[in-house]
Structure 1
Amino acid sequence: MPNPVSILAALNNKIPYQTPSFTNFKISPSPQRQSCAETIGTITDKCINILSMKDGIDFIEKMNSALDYIENHLDDDIDYTELAREAGCTEYHFSRMFSFITGHSLSLYIRRRRLSNAAIDLAADKPGILDIAVKYGYSSVDAFSRAFKDVHEILPSQVKKNPSTVKVYPRITFNLSITGGQEMRYRIVEKESFRIVGIKKHVDLVFHGINPEIAAMWESLTSEEIARWKNLSNTDPKGIISASTNFSEDRMTGKGSLDHYIGAATTSRIETDDNCLEVQAGLWAVFESLGKFPDTLQNIWGRIYSEWFPAVPYEVAPGPEILWNEQPDTSDPYFKSEIWIPIRFTSKR
């Protein structure tokens, strides 16, 4: 299959969206805040202070409080509004943060914890299978058995005879780890509403290497489409961009999917046959990636959620994640990209 980068050599941004790959959770010092319309900051090992340490500890305590709530309600209904309140943020932000930090969707974690406890109950010869199924939120033995087998690879009725074959999924506990030495450059930008005009496809996530479905999208572009979109591009990030939105909840489990766009950002309201993604006015955190591609880009993407969000008074807002690339030569050791993340201020930090 031809390389999509070489096919789109005339574009100023030609690299398909790369999904970040990471598992480690770290808390880094807070950036120094500046009172200007566009805030520019860095996170380095030189700005560790009492406030940043307190921010990190507060964040850890809130996340662990949320996990305590889950543990106390594994055999009961979980109120996701209350869960988010324990974490000190909105339901949307907590779900996204949890997935990025742990590598698991919130629903998958809760399901595994419940089925892990169910296996312990079965092995201990607690009340019958139906009672245990109901206890952990299943309306029928069939539904419980399917979910149980999917996790433990045996049926609930087989646990008593084969207790050693079940899997245990321990609860997660967050711990504070101060790291530094790598600068993280970003700016906060306020933008009016705009549209992303281009092509769209619902694709599966690929965590390593080029996503073949996205590569095929790049290959399908015509010179007419490229020229039309570049003429429409009249707002930052300018040029041809990639955008991903509508992530499935199991984004970080290796089974997720998303809507992927390739096109241009514009405030023009002219009629078009292209796919259009309406983007609300609001704040954006723009992160610079400068270094070996795609390693540096993936590292920055991970650090946004594991280091930056816990240290600042913002949370992720609904909207697309946008990738802009400066030029097509990915072999450049100083390859430059920008990651645009929609954010909103939160007083709960």
Structure 2
Amino acid sequence: MLDRLNQAMDRIEDHLTEDGVPLDVAALAQLALTSEYHLRRMFSALAGMPLSEYVRRRRLTVAGADVLAGRDTLLDIAVRYGYGSAEAFGRAFRAVHGIGPGEARRTRAALDSQPRMSFRLVVEGTSSMRYRIVDKPEFTVVGPKARVPLVHLGPNRALMDFIRGIGKDAVADLEKLSDQEPHGVLGVCDDLDPSRAEGTELDYYHGVVTAAPAPEGSATLTVPAGTWAVFDTSGPAPEAVQHLWRDVFTQWFPSNPYRSRPGPELLRTRYSDGHTEVEAQLWLPVERQA
């Protein structure tokens, strides 16, 4: 798997200057022997940024060297790296480097650099991961829903404000409706942008899996039948949950014949009185590799 991911990274480098031809992510996935969805999900988890963001930053890193070299016009450089105009290139260049390309060329300014990524094996796995595979028929999630931004690092203020606004009594009433796995009140993320870019929006449900009718003011999410990988962990909060996500994508997926598939991601957390310890259960939609 790591060899195939590194071959995909090589392919990206070969296609940084295709004069506007978009990178074929489906071809990258085929090279990595997986689905496009799983490649994007794996890359985001392993690299800490969406694949599209990495490609953009690599292109603008290499373009920065061409800008400073001064041999070509800025328009020629813009077209070479996939931008339709000097203005569009200038906006993207400034977003990465903090300075426009013309000013960077005139002043020989210092630019930011996105290093080329590669994946290597780190000997880990000294402790086992608790998981099970569940084939679950269609089920329904019921609960308050909000459209919130995706935040990779730091607190998600919009999500926190939404959950606080539900109220403890409403959450307690909701929990009474839970009548099947996964039990309890869940955080359910659905309809994520395939790029998983920072700031893109997703549907968040603070709900339960139930056959009961939705209470007034609640939304309903029908989840098709499918296969799920279920992971359990416990330990210090919030590190235990953060490490669970990390370990699933850096250790479990590369070691097992499954890949992620489109669908909602479900997380149940139960905290100790002082919020110093947490028990968590994570449900991820998966499919067996062909």
Is the shorter-chain TM-score for this pair beyond 0.5, marking a shared fold?
A: yes
- Deviation, 1:115, is 0.8
Cα distance in 2, alignment partners of residues 137 and 286 from structure 1: 41
The verdict on how the C-alpha distance between 1:155 and 1:213 changes in structure 2, with shifts beyond 3 A counting, is closer
Structure 2 SS opposite 1:159: helix
Distance 2:107 2:154 in 1: 40
1:346 and 2:281 equivalent? no
Displacement of 1:327:
5.7
Query: Aligned match of 2:6 in 61, 64, 85?
Result: 64
Q: Is the 8 A contact 1:104 1:250 kept in 2?
A: no
Cross-structure match for 1:258:
202
- For the residue of structure 1 that corresponds to 2:102, the secondary structure is helix
Q: Is the 1:318–1:342 Cα contact (8 Å) retained in structure 2? A: yes
| 1:159 lines up with 2:101 in the alignment | no
User: In 2, Cα distance between the equivalents of 1:295 and 1:252?
Assistant: 23
Q: Which residue does the alignment assign to 1:274?
A: 218
1:82 aligned to which of 27, 30, 52: 27
State whether residues 203 and 260 of structure 1, in contact with CA within 8 Å, keep that contact through their aligned partners in structure 2: yes
The equivalent of 2:189 in structure 1 is: 244
CA contact (8 A) 2:11 2:28 kept: yes
- Per-residue deviation, 1:317: 1.2
Query: Structure 2 counterpart of 1:83, which letter?
Result: L
Q: CA deviation at 1:218?
A: 3.1
Residues of 1 paired with 2:274 and 2:229: CA distance?
Answer: 24
Aligned residue in 2 for 1:170? 115
Q: Which AA in structure 2 matches 1:319?
A: G
Q: Which residue of 1 aligns with 2:253?
A: 309
| Alignment partners' CA distance in 2, 1:124 and 1:208 | 35
Give the direction of change, closer, same or farther, for the CA distance of 1:98–1:231 in structure 2 (3 Å limit).
same
Query: How far did 1:111 drift?
Result: 0.6
Pairwise CA distance, 1:98: 0.4
Partner SS state of residue 63, structure 1: helix
The one-letter amino acid of 2:227's match is L
Q: Does the C-alpha gap of structure 1 residues 213 and 152 become closer, same or farther in structure 2, counting only changes over 3 Å?
A: closer
Unaligned runs of 5+ in 1: 1-58
Of all paired residues, the percent bearing the same amino acid is 37
Distance, in Å, in 2 between the alignment partners of 1:62 and 1:317 is 19
Q: How does 1:43-192 map to 2 (within 5 A)?
A: 59-76=1-18, 77=21, 78-192=23-137
> Cα distance 1:327–1:124, how it changes in 2: closer, same or farther (>3 A)?
closer
- When the two chains are superposed, the root-mean-square deviation of aligned CA atoms in Å is 2.4
Rounded to whole Å, the distance in 2 between the matches of 1:173 and 1:102 is 9
In the alignment, the residues of structure 2 paired with residue 209 and residue 109 of structure 1 have an alpha-carbon distance, to the nearest angstrom, of 20
Mapped to 2, the partners of 1:203 and 1:331 lie a distance apart of: 24
Q: Please state whether the residue corresponding to 2:106 is helix, strand or coil.
A: coil
Is 1:217 aligned to residue 155 of structure 2? no
Q: Structure 2: where are the runs of 5+ without partners?
A: none
Shift in Å, 1:149: 0.9
In structure 2, do the counterparts of structure 1 residues 206 and 144 end up closer, same or farther at CA, with 3 Å as the change threshold? closer
Amino acid at match of 1:336: E
**Cα distance in 1 between the residues matched to 2:175 and 2:163:** 15
Q: Distance in 1 between matches of 2:147 and 2:274?
A: 25
Q: What's the CA shift string for 1:74-113, capped at 9, x where partnerless?
A: 1122111111111111111101110110011111111111
Instruction: Call closer, same or farther: CA 1:206–1:137 in 2, change over 3 Å.
Output: closer
Superposed displacement of residue 321, structure 1: 1.4
CA contact (8 A) 1:240 1:324 kept: yes
**2:12 maps to amino acid:** I
Cα-to-partner distance string for 1:225-269 (whole Å, 9 max, x where unaligned): 44653454222012221111233456475x454321111112456
Q: Does the Cα contact within 8 Å between 1:105 and 1:249 map onto a contact in 2?
A: no
Paired with 1:218 and 1:123, the residues of 2 have a C-alpha distance of 49
The 2-side partners of 1:265 and 1:142 are apart by 49
Structure 1 residue corresponding to 2:147, chosen from 197, 202, 207: 202
Q: Tell me, what secondary structure is at the counterpart of 1:98?
A: helix
Aligned residues: 287
Structure 2 residue aligned with 1:32: none
Look up the match of 1:38: none
Confirm whether residue 234 of structure 1 aligns to residue 179 of structure 2. yes
Give the TM-score taking structure 2 as reference length.
0.89
Q: Secondary structure at the match of 1:344?
A: strand
2:238 paired with 1:294 = yes
Aligned to 2:279: 336
Indicate the SS of the match to 1:169.
Answer: coil
Q: Does 2:262 match 1:318? A: yes
Q: In 2 relative to 1, CA 146–176 (structure 1 residues): closer, same or farther, beyond 3 Å?
A: same
* Counterpart code for 1:101: L
